[in-house]
């Protein structure tokens, strides 16, 4: 493209509205910046900056061009990032925060040891922009509309149920104390959704002693002053581990805590109606992405209630 260097100089100068600062960032002289801007203005037959005090400000034409150059150089940088990741055997993966900390992090070294592919994790939930943000893949709970821009690869069904520390469960089941239901702002309806899926009548028939706790759950959801709401699901689960109350645990997020005895699930688990999925670009998966996808699905297949 003609005048590519001039467009680059303009893009930097427009972002800081200073020829001097642009020169510093580009490691060129103030005069070189001015020259490239003049080349561009002559080529476009319009003024892009005007002087204001000791600095410069964008004209309306400059503001318009800035929007286009930002998009162009952002897309170029994303392409460079993707090529760099492919050449360096690196995957940039976005994952649900709680799944990252409670399930994926303890296992990711096994993937690297087996395949030699470095996975760089970032945490986020909900909608995501792959490619343009430099991300290869995203692991999500499918509780939002991902759109048609991505292929959605099934990983595992989510199962949910109340979890407690063994000491706290002993306290509420044997001593008939009030139940503290732990909630999270990111999953505010977790308790109610679990109760709507759980077969209360069948559970009470098989194990009548649990019926009292179930009734306490239902009563506590709306009336108990002891209920706590945490800012994030991760904090809610950690509070349950620490014996502050009961939380609705999501399998596989609490799998390791159950194995270690940090948590117990006296009512078992039911399907939540949601799945964990892998979001990828519509194009065919690269070799590295396919290896990670297959490994992830195989590992998560082991992470279902028995």
* pLDDT tens readout for residues 63-122: 999 999 988 888 887 776 666 555 567 889 999 999 999 999 999 999 999 988 899 999
Q: Say which CATH topology domain 87-157+275-302 has.
A: D-Maltodextrin-Binding Protein; domain 2 (3.40.190)
Q: Is the peptide bond before 252 cis (omega within 30 degrees of 0)?
A: yes
Q: What percent of the chain has pLDDT over 90?
A: 49
User: How high is the mean pLDDT of the chain?
Assistant: 85
- What is the model's pTM? 0.66
Read off the pLDDT band of 227 (50, 70, 90): confident
In this structure, CATH architecture of domain 4-86: Orthogonal Bundle (1.10)
Please state the rounded mean pLDDT for residues 122-131. Answer: 83
- pLDDT for 205 equals 47
Q: Which residue has the higher pLDDT, 74 or 261?
A: 261
Read off the pLDDT band of 193 (50, 70, 90): confident
Please state the rounded mean pLDDT for residues 147-166. Answer: 89
Answer whether residue 2 shows pLDDT above 80.
no
Cα-flanking dihedrals φ and ψ of residue 33, to 5°? -65, -50
Q: Does domain 159-272 have CATH number 3.40.190.10?
A: yes
Specify whether the CB–CB gap between 140 and 280 falls below 8 A: no
259 exposed, middle or buried (CB, 10 Å; 0-12, 13-18, 19+)?
Answer: exposed
Pairwise CA distance, residues 205 & 212, whole Å = 12
- pLDDT for 149 equals 76
CATH topology match: 4-86 vs 159-272: no
Q: Using DSSP, state whether 51 is helix, strand or coil.
A: strand
Beta strands per DSSP E along 30-117: 49-52, 55-58, 90-95
Return the domain boundaries, the chain. 4-86, 87-157+275-302, 159-272
Nearest to 242 by CA among 228, 223, 224: 228
Nearest to 98 by CA among 190, 228, 196, 226: 190
């Amino acid at each position: 493209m003609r005048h590519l260097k001039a467009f680059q100089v303009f893009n930097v100068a427009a972002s800081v509205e200073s020829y001097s600062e642009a020169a510093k960032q580009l490691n060129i002289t103030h005069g070189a910046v001015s020259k490239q801007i003049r080349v561009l203005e002559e080529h476009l037959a319009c003024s892009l900056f005007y002087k204001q005090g000791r600095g410069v400000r964008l004209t309306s034409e400059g503001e318009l061009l800035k929007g286009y150059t930002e998009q162009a150089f952002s897309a170029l940088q994303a392409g460079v990032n993707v090529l760099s990741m492919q050449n360096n055997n690196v995957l940039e993966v976005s994952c649900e925060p709680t799944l990252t900390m409670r399930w994926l992090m303890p296992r990711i070294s096994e993937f690297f040891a087996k395949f030699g592919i470095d996975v760089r994790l970032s945490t986020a939930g909900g909608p995501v922009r792959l490619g343009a943000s430099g991300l290869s893949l995203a692991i999500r709970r499918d509780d939002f509309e991902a759109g048609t821009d991505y292929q959605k690869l099934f990983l595992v069904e989510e199962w949910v149920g109340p979890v407690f520390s063994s000491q706290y469960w002993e306290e509420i089941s044997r001593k008939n104390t009030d139940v503290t239901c732990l909630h999270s702002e990111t999953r505010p309806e977790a308790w109610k959704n679990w109760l709507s899926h759980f077969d209360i009548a069948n559970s009470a028939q098989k194990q009548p002693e649990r019926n009292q706790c179930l009734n306490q759950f239902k009563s506590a959801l709306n009336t108990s002053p002891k209920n706590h709401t945490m800012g994030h699901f991760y904090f809610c689960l950690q509070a349950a581990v620490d014996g502050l109350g009961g939380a609705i645990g999501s399998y596989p997020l609490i799998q390791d805590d159950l194995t270690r005895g940090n948590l117990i699930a006296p009512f078992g688990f039911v399907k939540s109606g949601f799945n964990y999925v892998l979001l990828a670009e519509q194009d065919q998966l690269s070799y590295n992405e396919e290896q990670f996808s297959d490994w992830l699905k195989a590992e998560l297949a082991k992470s279902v209630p028995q």
